[in-house]
Amino acid sequence: MLPRLASLFKKALPYVPVIFFAFARAALADQPQFVQGAINLLNDATTWLMGLIPAASGAAIGYHALMKQLGDADPAAAAVHNRAMRNILIAGAIGESAVGITKAFLAYFH
Q: In 10 A of CB 81, how many CB atoms?
A: 21
pTM: 0.66
pLDDT 10s digits, 79-100: 999 999 999 999 999 999 999 9
Phi-psi region for residue 72, left (φ > 0), alpha (ψ -120 to 50) or beta?
Answer: left
DSSP letter for 29, please: -
Residue 74 has pLDDT above 90, yes or no: no
pLDDT 10s digits, 10-54: 777 777 676 666 665 555 567 778 888 888 999 999 999 999 999
Q: Indicate the domain borders of the chain.
A: 33-107
